[in-house]
A and B are shown apart, each in its own frame.
Chain A
Amino acid sequence: MVLCGIECVQRISQYLDVSPGKLYMSENNNVAANGLVDSQSTEGFSTIIQAMVKNSKYPAILGDDSVTQALVRQWLEYAAVCINFADNSAFERRVLNELNTILKTNTYVTGTKKTIADVSMYYSIHGLVNKMSPQEKAEHVHLSRWCDNMQQDEKLRQSMDSINFSMMHLYL
């Protein structure tokens, strides 16, 4: 199992109102898509997401200046390389701590505006945050704050659980 796999890409494609093509796991255990770009096969989380955004009606979600665009690519890469394997508990701790640190000074992952990096991250770590105890949520208060803000967008949340953050205040 990986966190940035077929299910995650499907949710992002739904959010962007585009078809992801036919998704499968490649022999390198990477998510891949057939027919997303012309009739070729496209491999890799970051590549697929960028291609989907370009096919969508929301190209601005890739960031509206060159710094943000670079940061978006950086975080998509981070998702593919680190978050992807955070279903392993050692990785999980590291990823959650790293995300909490970046969100301490940034409202959204890349700065002051919501981008596709936030969207991708939300889908990939939803399961991890959802199973945190109130105390763990409080320990990762910046990540929790971000997650709570993200899940207010119903189109983004789709049919996923709305995570309850009210109990974490007991530990703040």
Chain B
Amino acid sequence: MAKVTGTLYTYPKNYRAYKALIAAQYSGAHLVVPRDFVFGETNKSDEFLKKFPLGKVPALETSKGEYITESNAIAYYVSNSVLRGVTDAEQAEIIQWLSFADAEIQPASSAWVFPLLGIMPMNKQNVEAAKEDVKRALTVLDKHLTSKTYLVGERVTLADICVAMTLLYLYQYILEPSLRESYPNVNRWFQTFMNQPQVLAVVPNFKLAEKTLEFDPKKYAELQGKVSGKKEKKEKEPKEKKPKEEKPKAADKPSKSEDMDAAEAALAAEPKSSNPFDNMPKGTFDMDDFKRFYSNEDEAKSIPYFWTKFDPQNYSIWFCEYKYADELTKTFMSCNLISGMYQRLDKMRKAAFASVCLFGTDNDSTISGIWVWRGQDLAFELCPDWQIDYESYSWTKLDAADPKTKDLVAQYFSWTGKDKDGRDFNQGKIFK
């Protein structure tokens, strides 16, 4: 079976998109999540709606031009045969658990979690009913997992991926120790699943709830302000689909699709996590000023300028080397590797500068470079968004006072010299 490659459209931290991303980790499918996706804009654009008429995410566009929506379908598509179940009976059981997650867990979980996140109004009756539903679903699951390590068969399948992701918010926000102690088997299974390397690659640093979130009317009012503001704007647009409000509302349980959309909009509207560099002292080194000077002046001037302005108290200089140089082939592909990394690190631009160079020729080349950023530690560890590429490089912190550092900086900033094995400079890229 050929491995799927494609683009997965989603807003960040979407538990439904996680299903596909985790399945891809297991199968080796290659999914790229576009960084410039803006919820409520990208997925409402004509171009997007032409491919995905419902305008919902996650949505998958494969390299073969296939368009798939609905998280379970996408996760299935990017799975390998082990995840899908080997025998007919296993496959049927897996579908059974996917339906269980969507019908028994998801609505109840949303009805309980979303009011606490401020995404939905607090209606005590609904929440109490949801608690009962969650209890029932977890009891069933706990019984099943008494004698089973994983949901279907004796290894991780799509069933584990989808059920665990549907429980993600419950474990993250609601199920404090006293609420989860009645489900030891589910707890054991969930913890084991979340610690699989393939899952850690997608959902790192997951922590079980220590204390149940409490309803905060202020947060709700704030978020609702944002969401309804957004909606009004959209309704003025002529091409907008019928406003969702016209759908009949279910009396006791809120209708699923409506809430999900409002919820997703609210989640996406949550303020983006602030830039980690903002918490560090700015120091005396003005990154923008240096970048301007570097762009406008010759290196003969800009390198001394760097050293007069550089503030070693609050900034650090690093040397990086690409670890897998023997896998590099065409030079233009290697250059794309560098510019791709720059693109993914967009948020670092504010407080970082780099010159990364390619040395050598096709099939005999190395990549290395000099980075400067705010703070004394490896900056990539500050933000999960920055961790895609950096492990492919080895990182050495340079001592700004060391004359060798001056030489290296001069060499890399001026794009001259050779790599350590004597390959000639081929081309360089500047991160600014």
Contacting residues, chain B, for A112 (C-beta < 8 A): 191-192, 194-196
By the criterion CB–CB under 8 Å, are A104 and B189 in contact?
no
Interface centre among B146, B150, B187, B196 (most CB of A within 10 A): B146
Task: Identify 14 residue pairs between A and B in the complex whose beta-carbon atoms are under 8 Å apart, listed by A's number.
Answer: A104-B184, A105-B187, A107-B188, A107-B189, A107-B191, A107-B192, A112-B192, A142-B146, A144-B147, A145-B146, A148-B149, A148-B154, A152-B155, A172-B147
Q: Which residues of A contact B189 (CB under 8 A)?
A: 107
Contacts of A146 in B (CB 8 A): 149
Question: In the docked arrangement, what's the CA distance between A148 and B194, Å?
Answer: 21
Is A169 interfacial (CB-CB < 8 Å)?
A: yes
B-contact 0/1 string along A111-136, CB 8 Å cutoff: 11100000000000000000000000
Interface hits, B149-164 → A, CB 8 Å: 149-150, 153-155
Q: Say yes or no: is A19 at the interface (Cβ < 8 Å to chain B).
A: no
| Contact pattern, B 151-182, Cβ under 8 Å of A = 1, otherwise 0 | 00111000000000000000000000000000
Q: Smallest distance from the beta carbon of B151 to chain A beta carbons, Å?
A: 12
Residue count of chain A within 8 Å CB distance of chain B: 20
B148 at the interface (CB under 8 A from A): yes
B82: min CB distance to chain A, Å: 12
Contact present for B147 and A141 (CB under 8 Å): yes
| A contacts, CB < 8 Å to B | 104-108, 111-113, 141-142, 144-146, 148-149, 152, 165, 168-169, 172
Q: Which residues of B contact A (CB under 8 A)?
A: 146-150, 153-155, 184, 187-189, 191-192, 194-196
* Docked-complex contact A145 and B155, CB < 8 angstroms: no
Contacts of B148 in A (CB 8 A): 145
CB-defined contacts of B153 to chain A, threshold 8 Å? 152
Within the complex, what minimum Cβ distance (angstroms) separates A65 from chain B? Answer: 11
B195 is contacted by which of A113, A148, A168 (Cβ under 8 Å)? A113
**Complex Cα–Cα for A142 and B187 (A):** 14
Note all chain A residues with C-beta closer than 8 A to B191.
107, 112
Q: Could you tell me the distance in whole angstroms from the C-beta of B143 to the nearest C-beta in chain A?
A: 8
- The chain B residue sitting closest to A104, CB to CB, is B184
- B154 to A152, Cβ gap below 8 A? yes
Query: What A residues does B196 contact at CB under 8 A?
Result: 112
CB distance from B61 to the nearest CB of A (A): 34
Contact (Cβ within 8 A) B147 A107: no
Task: With both chains docked as a complex, state the minimum distance between the C-beta of A106 and any C-beta of chain B, in angstroms.
Answer: 7
Write the nearest CB–CB distance from A51 to chain B, whole angstroms: 27
B149's contact among A111, A145, A169, A172, by CB below 8 Å, is which? A145
The residue in chain B whose Cβ has the minimal distance to the Cβ of A145 is: B147
B contact residues around A168 at 8 Å (CB)? 147
Q: For B195, give the chain A residue with the smallest CB separation.
A: A112
User: In the complex, which residues of chain B have a beta carbon less than 8 angstroms from the beta carbon of A142?
Assistant: 146
B160 smallest CB distance to A (angstroms): 12
The docked-state distance in angstroms from the alpha carbon of A105 to that of B147 is 13
Q: A141: which of B146, B150, B155, B187 is its contact (CB, 8 Å)?
A: B146
Bound CA span A90–B199, Å: 42
Known: A108-B192, A146-B149. 12 other contacts (CB 8 A): A107-B188, A107-B189, A111-B195, A112-B191, A113-B195, A141-B146, A145-B147, A148-B154, A149-B149, A149-B150, A149-B154, A168-B147
Nearest A residue to B189 via CB reads: A107
Q: Is the CB of B146 within 8 A of A105?
A: no
Q: Nearest CB to that of A166 among chain B residues?
A: B147
In Å, the complex CA distance between A144 and B154 comes to 13
Measured between beta carbons, the chain A residues less than 8 angstroms from B154 are 148-149, 152
Docked Cα-Cα span, A169 to B192, in Å, equals 23
User: Which of A105, A107, A172 lies at the interface centre, i.e. has the most chain B CB atoms within 10 A of its CB?
Assistant: A107
Instruction: Determine which residue in B147, B149, B155, B194 has the highest number of CB atoms from chain A within 10 A of its CB, and name it.
Output: B147
